[in-house]
Amino acid sequence: MSTLSSPRTEPAGRPRTDPYAPAARRARRRSAGLGLLAWIVGIVFCLPALWMLLTSFHSEADAATNPPSFGAGLTLDSYRVFFGAGGGASPWPPLINSLTASLFSTVFVLVLALPAAYALSIKRVEKWTDVMFFFLSTKMLPVVAGLLPVYLFAKNTGMLDNIWLLVILYTSMNLPIAVWMMQSFLADVPVSIIEAAQVDGARLPTVLARVVAPVAAPGIAATALICFIFSWNELLFARVLTGVTAQTAPVFLTGFVTSQGLFLAQLCAASVVVSLPVLAAGFAAQDKLVQGLSLGAVK
């Protein structure tokens, strides 16, 4: 059979592929080269973060050497010291404060933004674009411009060093972003499905739970993760408005650097621990990250 088929295909196949073969091979080689380049660039770009991770597993003596000890033995000592084995301040209260501020502000943001986004996408209020741009314009007001009155207000009402003040501020900080994101996610729910459900006699709560929620759920989750990240990262408000009891993790980190000799491994461990929740949330929201960060303008 092979003797029969090979003479028939070869003359037909050869003239067709031959002139293109070198070009295709060149293109393939070039594409493989660019793939390799992307890998190298990615690793180099991420190197500082990888170095931080590696250093956090080194002993203090190995962490602060010149030239760097790339292959030094690994240890969990820095993490143990960071979590209080060395007798320093425990990181748990700041971590719990950050968690409280981030979680509660995210919940409040969702509670306020979901109905608003509903009124701006599914059941559109008149002049809904103007309302959208009002929300966005508040995000463009520099935080620092409202800081002093907030500080004075907190001082006079005894709210200084109170984590719930941060919860309120973080809610307002993330609300515009959440409204924009969720508006774009809810607008993806086809109107025809909603109307079909209503024609079938479904009431509003049923429509929301059975029709809107399943379509919009991934977007709502991404919104929540992004709000969580922004709250967790915030430094300026936390720095000015908290002291000892309501101190958040970023504030704790800035105070972590002591003038004592060897601390680099510990500092790296602390940075890794504080960044972990954000990294986890960010990787979880990776697919919707662009849409969120560009306020829904880019899909």
Partner 1 sequence: MSTSVSTPPLSPAGASRPGAPRRAGRRASGRARAWATRAPLLPALVFLIAVTQLPFVATLVISLFDWNSLAPDERGFAGLANYGSVFSDASLRESVFTTVLLTASVVIVSVVLGLLLALLLDRKFLGRGFVRTLLITPFLLVPVSAALLWKHALYNPEYGLFNGAWAWFTGLFGVSAPAQPDWISDMPLIAVEAALVWQWTPFMMLILLAGLQSRPAEIIEAAKLDGATTWQTFRFLTLPHLRRYLELGVLLGSIYIVQNFDAVFTLTSGGLGTANLPYTIYQTFYQAHEYGLASAAGVVVVIGTIVIATFALRVVSSLFSEEANRA
User: Does residue 160 belong to the site contacting partner 1 (CB under 8 A)?
Assistant: no
* CB of 264 vs partner 1, minimal distance in Å: 6
Which residue type occupies 77?
D
Residue 1 neighbours by CB distance under 10 Å: 5
Stretch that binds partner 1, among 1-9, 86-94, 183-191, 211-219 (CB under 8 A): 183-191
Residue 283 neighbours by CB distance under 10 Å: 10
Binding residue for partner 1 (CB under 8 A) from 78, 79, 91, 116?
A: 116
Q: Please provide residue 9's backbone torsions phi and psi, each rounded to the nearest 5 degrees.
A: -80, -35
User: Does residue 138 belong to the site contacting partner 1 (CB under 8 A)?
Assistant: yes
Stretch that binds partner 1, among 7-15, 75-83, 148-156, 212-220 (CB under 8 A): 148-156
User: Does residue 258 belong to the site contacting partner 1 (CB under 8 A)?
Assistant: no
Peptide bond before 67: cis, by omega within 30 degrees of 0? yes
Binding residue for partner 1 (CB under 8 A) from 224, 227, 229, 246?
A: 229
Instruction: Determine the Cα–Cα distance for residues 231 and 105; give it in Å rounded to an integer.
Output: 8
* Binding to partner 1, residues 23-42 (CB under 8 A): 31-32, 34-35, 37-39, 41-42
Stretch that binds partner 1, among 71-79, 99-107, 205-213, 264-272 (CB under 8 A): 264-272
Query: How many residues bind partner 1, per CB under 8 A?
Result: 105
Binding residue for partner 1 (CB under 8 A) from 57, 102, 106, 120?
A: 120
Binding residue for partner 1 (CB under 8 A) from 149, 158, 201, 205?
A: 149
Q: What is the DSSP letter of 286?
A: G
Residue 243 CA to its chain's centroid (Å): 26
* CB of 227 vs partner 1, minimal distance in Å: 13
Instruction: Determine the Cα–Cα distance for residues 83 and 90; give it in Å rounded to an integer.
Output: 6
* Binding to partner 1, residues 53-72 (CB under 8 A): 55, 63-68
Binding residue for partner 1 (CB under 8 A) from 89, 191, 209, 213?
A: 191
User: Does residue 51 belong to the site contacting partner 1 (CB under 8 A)?
Assistant: yes
User: Does residue 233 belong to the site contacting partner 1 (CB under 8 A)?
Assistant: yes
Residue 87 neighbours by CB distance under 10 Å: 7
Instruction: Determine the Cα–Cα distance for residues 215 and 82; give it in Å rounded to an integer.
Output: 43
User: Does residue 89 belong to the site contacting partner 1 (CB under 8 A)?
Assistant: no
* Tokens 């002139």 -> residue: 19
- Helix extents (H) in the chain: 2-17, 21-56, 60-63, 77-80, 92-121, 128-140, 147-157, 163-186, 191-199, 204-206, 213-233, 236-241, 249-254, 264-284, 289-293
Binding residue for partner 1 (CB under 8 A) from 211, 232, 242, 247?
A: 232
Nearer to partner 1, 38 or 74 (CB): 38
Instruction: Determine the Cα–Cα distance for residues 238 and 97; give it in Å rounded to an integer.
Output: 10
User: Does residue 21 belong to the site contacting partner 1 (CB under 8 A)?
Assistant: no
CA distances from 292 to 130, 157, 176, 284 (A): 20, 35, 11, 13
User: Does residue 148 belong to the site contacting partner 1 (CB under 8 A)?
Assistant: yes
Stretch that binds partner 1, among 4-12, 73-81, 89-97, 273-281 (CB under 8 A): 273-281
CA dihedral 187, 188, 189, 192 (to 10 degrees): 90
